[in-house]
Amino acid sequence: MPKQFLKGNEAVVKGAILAGCKAYYGYPITPASEIAHAAALYFPRAGGTFIQAESEIAAINMVYGASSAGLRAMTASSGPGISLKQEGVSYCAGSELPCVIVDIMRGGPGLGSIAPEQSDYNQVVKGGGHGNYKNIVLAPNSVQEMCDLGILAFDLADKYRNPVFVLTDGFIGQMMEPVEFPEPIAQEKIPEKSWVVKGTIETSDNVITSIELDPDDLERHVNKLQKKYSIIEEQEVRVEEYHTDDAEIVLIGYGIVSRIIHSVIDELREEGVKAGMLRPITLFPFPKKKIAELTERVKFFLTLEMSNGQMVDDVRLVVEGKKPVYFYNRMGGNVPSMKEVHDKVMKIMRLS
Amino acid sequence: MNKVLRKSDVFYDVYERRPGADKLTTTYCPGCGHGILHKLIAEALEDFGVQDRTIFISPVGCSVFAYYYFHTGNVQVAHGRAPAVGTGLKRANPNSIVISYQGDGDLAAIGGLEIINAANRGEGLTVFFVNNAIYGMTGGQMAPTTLIGQITMTTPLGRSVENEGYPIHMSEIIATLEAPVYVERVMLGDTKSIMHTRKAVRKALKIQIEKNGFSFIEVLSACPSGWKMTPIQGEKWVTDTMTKYFPLGVIKDISDTFEGRDFSRKNVEPSELHEILDIKETRIDAEKIAPFIMKSVAEEIKIAGFGGQGVLSLGTVLSEMGMRHNYEVSWLPSYGPEMRGGTANCSVKISSKKIGSPVVANPTILIAMNRPSLDKFETDVVSGGLIVYDSSLIDRAPTRTDVTVIPIPATKMADELGNTKIANMIIVGALIKHLGIMSQEIVLDSLGDVLKRKKLVPLNQKAILKGAEFIKNIK
Ligand SMILES: Cc1ncc(C[n+]2csc(CCOP(=O)(O)OP(=O)(O)O)c2C)c(N)n1
Ligand code: SF4
Ligand SMILES: [Mg+2]
């Protein structure tokens, strides 16, 4: 079996290279630095470029350049660095440049800590930079998914000409698990891009830009983006469900939290508690239909986060007060223990 | 002079991208330097026959719409970021000719970091730095190059040294770096100065076309609108006043000795990637693991000790060996709040079932390699669990009576083998022997695939055997 045992941060790099990514630009930050380490080692060998940029702002703009030139390109960082990248991400969204940004979340605000948190949800899922745009956001919860969703990220980025985030936490980045790597994508499978600027006669009439000074022109452009986002919402929702069929209470969480929920559900089921899990794999598009459907048949929701309650807002918008949505969180780098989650579920069930 | 004024083929005949009715004139004010510099660049690109290969980066500033005019590949970018975007463009297609065209606000203020570092890396870019001592586009605010005493919208009483400091000399700064090939300051004043600028523009582009070298041309340039002057007054102010603060001339030129840069990337076939990425088949010997595969295993292991004792690698070796026995495995290092005082720990799960949470709160096995680790984690171990501790370093026995305890003088044994660092492998050997969930033969055989430092494999094998022997003797 072609299994390899390695860190999430390394798996995402190998996956990216297998996906035909040829350019990595980044600035070191814990707990994402192993991504830069692996990229520095493998990108040049694999026919790509690696540059340690002077800042996250420079890194995302190098990605902007590489993507304008038609390459699959990526960068990676964590909280403070993602904040700096937001300007560039907004420009990528406006210019409709495909790119992949990996965010290995750490504690905030400010310098916060290097321990895992999920407090970048709002700045990544809601756009983060200025303007009416959305990122596609994929949320891996295993080292295998760091590879698989990393690869998917490049396909979606090209398909929709849109920035795609791989959003996860320090634990998923730092942990090691076995990974099975797929075959590399053949060059001809990567879609031909006619809009790029490559320094060739064929592309010398092309322009990459996000500026539209005429209000009607800009409105048309932004409306076109919104249409793209609705298509993404129609077509790209991905979830994992675990024992939701007959569940009375559904726990919602992503990243490392979903791994803990998974174990707690096993315990609860053994105790006869009808608990299930919904794990959004895509945070944008958010699984609205799925949650609406569950709202019809479950008694309670419990959203678990390592943030101050950022995703729970999205859950509540869908549930519309029809069923109670409870919330439990830990912050500062603490991870909710199985016992805490278990106790919280039992408390809710007793209330009923 | 006629040649300079003829409209180059590098410009579009009709500026279709320009909104509104006027598609024939530029957006620049009369007497503005941008228009003249555009012409010099266009003419050079035409003469050198590189129009098709050229990518022109439009900055944020009055030249934001340069892409209306230049019939080349065009990329419009965020304020100050052109050198970073240019880096991405050039590295992607080293054969392209990339022009980073920037104003003084764009390059010397908000984009200061990007220009310095692109210059320092020696990117194959040609930078045209339009120094008009003001922010033209936003209505005439102070620039880093605004002169002392110069009145702008944000220095209504004139730029003062006390509040704003001195005008920045970008060319001199860039010239202190080693990588830039050619740095010159020129001006757009009388015809003679324009003809000189023309030469500098051509030389800078040539350096990129022929040798992929980094050039930086600072162009002192009039902004009559921002300066509230007539075009004639503007030209005079550039010539008489700006040049006093910003002396003209070549500041650096190593083009004769510069050997050129090669930004080309390696040509790699997708079929080569698995090997390049060190993705190998993990040998799993079905016959040898047969006796273990029916076992129901659910070990949650906490391994803790000082940094440097090999705590983390003890965990990775155990997990990787577990993987080679077809168990589900996970390894999670401590980092963040727990990683204080030089102690390290990791959580390992080895299970015959799919692993949910990789976090180990209540270990079935605690491996304590120093006293603080035993003190910290002893109470967490599940009843009926196992504590293995390094009895050569820890001066107390665990107090728990509901768990199995194995004291093993691992550090002492490692010293006897001649290397303190392999205490961790002695524990691996002991644990594997004690648990009986893995084949010692497979462990010894695959050590070479698992360890990074191949030279140390024989020593590590010895340590594993020694640990196993220790268990055999106490049983
Ligand atoms: C991040 C950001 N900050 C501020 C601005 C507003 N802005 C547009 S152009 C400009 C100054 C441009 O001055 P300069 O680079 O000297 O170009 P000039 O117009 O003089 O040619 C500023 C501050 C912006 N577009 N983006
Ligand atoms: S404002 Fe100044 S820099 Fe801008 S176009 Fe007018 S003269 Fe040129
Ligand atoms: Mg200016």
CATH number at residue B292: 3.40.920.10
Distance CA A3, CA A180 (A): 5
Q: Do B308 and B238 share a structural domain? A: no
- The finding on whether B136 has its CB within 6 A of some atom of ligand 2 is yes
Distance CA A164, CA A148 (A): 14
Residue B336's pLDDT band, with cuts at 50, 70 and 90, is low
Determine whether domain A240-351 maps to CATH 3.40.50.9100.
no
List the single residue in B with minimal CA-CA distance to A54. B117
Which A-chain residues 195-214 have CB contacts (< 8 A) with chain B?
A: 197-201, 203-211, 213-214
Q: Do B468 and B399 share a structural domain? A: yes
Tokens for B224, please give them.
């009559």
Residue B340: is its pLDDT beyond 60? no
Q: Which residues of A touch B10 (CB under 8 A)?
A: none
DSSP B263-299: -PPP---GGGHHHHTT--PPP--HHHHHHHHT---EE
Q: Which residues of A touch B333 (CB under 8 A)?
A: 174-175
Residue B453: is its pLDDT beyond 90? no
Residue B313: is its pLDDT beyond 90? yes
DSSP SS3 for B189? coil
CA-wise closest residue to A101 among A127, A119, A132? A127
Q: Do B216 and B111 share a structural domain? A: yes
pLDDT tens figures, B75-130? 999 999 999 999 999 999 999 999 999 999 999 999 999 999 999 999 999 999 99
| Residue B261, domain member (yes or no) | no
Q: Do B313 and B179 share a structural domain? A: no
List the single residue in A with minimal CA-CA distance to B87. A62
Mean pLDDT of B173-194: 98
Predicted pLDDT at B337: 47
User: Percent of chain A having pLDDT more than 90?
Assistant: 96
Q: Do domains A3-235 and A240-351 have the same CATH topology?
A: yes
ipTM: 0.97
Residue B295: is its pLDDT beyond 90? no
Among B50, B93, B102, B125, the strongest candidate for a mutation testing the A interface, having the largest count of A CBs within 10 A, is B93
How close B368 gets to chain A, by Cα (Å)? Answer: 21
Q: Do B142 and B23 share a structural domain? A: yes
Distance CA B229, CA B33 (A): 13
Q: Do B308 and B199 share a structural domain? A: no
Entry pTM: 0.96
| CB-CB under 8 Å, B76 with A95 | yes
Candidates B74, B93, B357; nearest CB to A263: B357
Q: Do B172 and B75 share a structural domain? A: yes
| Residue B278, domain member (yes or no) | no
Strands A21-26 and A49-52: parallel
How close A109 gets to chain B, by Cα (Å)? Answer: 15
Domain residue limits at B368: 288-474
CB pairs under 8 A between A and B: 265
Q: Tell me which of B26, B34, B63, B230 to substitute to probe ligand 2's pocket, judged by most ligand atoms within 8 Å of the beta carbon.
A: B34
A72–chain B Cβ distance below 8 A for any pair: no
Distance CA A49, CA A40 (A): 8
Fold classification of A3-235 is: Rossmann fold (3.40.50)
Predicted pLDDT at A1: 47
Predicted pLDDT at B341: 58
pLDDT tens figures, B363-388? 999 999 999 999 999 999 999 999 99
Q: What is the mean pLDDT of chain B?
A: 95
**Residue B185 pairs with which residues in a beta bridge?**
B218, B249
CA angle B458, B460, B462 (to 5 degrees): 70
Q: Do B38 and B158 share a structural domain? A: yes
Which helix (H) or strand (E) is A105 found in, with range? strand A99-107
Nearest protein CA to atom 2 of ligand 2, as residue: B223
Q: Do B329 and B461 share a structural domain? A: yes
Distance (Å) from CA B136 to ligand 2 centroid:
5
Q: Do B305 and B219 share a structural domain? A: no
For B201-234, b where at least 16 C-beta lie within 10 A, e where not — what string? bbbbbbbbbebbbbbbbbbbbbbbbbbebeeeeb
Predicted pLDDT at B308: 85
Mean pLDDT of A56-81: 98
Predicted pLDDT at B283: 73
Q: Parse chain A into domains and list their residue ranges.
A: 3-235, 240-351
Q: Do B323 and B233 share a structural domain? A: no
The number of folded domains in chain B is 2
pLDDT tens figures, B122-163? 999 999 999 999 999 999 999 999 999 999 999 999 999 999
Residue B3: is its pLDDT beyond 60? no
Predicted pLDDT at B356: 93
Those residues whose C-beta lies under 8 Å from the C-beta of residue B198, and which sit 6 or more positions away, are B4, B40, B43, B44
| CB-CB under 8 Å, A45 with B276 | yes
- The finding on whether B122 has its CB within 6 A of some atom of ligand 1 is no
Q: Tell me which of B29, B60, B188 to substitute to probe ligand 1's pocket, judged by most ligand atoms within 8 Å of the beta carbon.
A: B60
- The finding on whether B38 has its CB within 6 A of some atom of ligand 2 is no
| Residue B29, domain member (yes or no) | yes
pLDDT tens figures, A21-67? 999 999 999 999 999 999 999 999 999 999 999 999 999 999 999 99
Residue B288's pLDDT band, with cuts at 50, 70 and 90, is confident
Q: Which residues of B touch A25 (CB under 8 A)?
A: 87-88
pLDDT tens figures, B32-66? 999 999 999 999 999 999 999 999 999 999 999 99
CATH code (residue B82): 3.40.50.970
